[in-house]
Amino acid sequence: MTLETDIITFLSEEWNVTPIRTTQSKFCPVDCILTKNDNFVAICEVRTRRDKWDDVQRWGGMFLNYIKLNNAIEMSRQFCVPFLFVAYFIPDDILMYWKVTNDKGQIEIEMTLTSRNAQDNIADGKDVKRIRNVVMLPNNPKVIKKITF
């Protein structure tokens, strides 16, 4: 069981939804789809960070891979559900989320496109650093609550 799994379980209980997980053995557009009464209600990407929220704010905001964002927006449009980006900041023990799109797949928050040196983890355990396009989310997420996993 991973911290990400714990977070998804917590969200399912907090929001009274049932998660459908995507595979973790290869790239997927999102981490899970949230359902209620057998209907899709949201798609969700979950991140855990060893950084403090204050540090992330000083760096300019939370980053999300541009390709992953575009895939999630397209899923949001196709399934007619919002896309939620959830982040858990381990040192602060706080869980936050951004509602990136509405149920029509329309973007609801301002984002900044930038490039940065990023680390990719690949299947054989090697880390590869490369420049890639990322989107910086604004510094105004909704706080779910302080939690301990």
pLDDT in tens, the chain (149 residues): 588 889 999 999 989 999 999 887 777 888 899 999 999 999 999 988 898 988 888 887 788 888 888 899 999 999 999 999 999 999 999 898 889 999 999 998 888 877 766 555 444 445 555 545 566 666 677 777 655 43
Q: How far apart are alpha carbons 50 and 18 in whole angstroms?
A: 27
Type of residue found at 41: V
Predicted pLDDT at 60: 77
C-alpha distances out from residue 130 to 133, 142, 149, Å: 10, 31, 32
**Dihedral of the CA atoms 25, 29, 32, 36 (nearest 10)?**
-150
Pairing mode of beta strands 142-146, 94-99: antiparallel
* CA atoms of 114 and 53, how far apart (whole Å): 20
> Can you give the pTM of this predicted structure?
0.82
Query: What residue type is 34 in one-letter code?
Result: L
Measured distance CA(106)–CA(97) in Å, rounded: 17
CB-count burial class (<10 Å; 0-12, 13-18, 19+) for 89: buried
Both tokens assigned to 120: 């990719």
Q: What is the DSSP letter of 100?
A: -
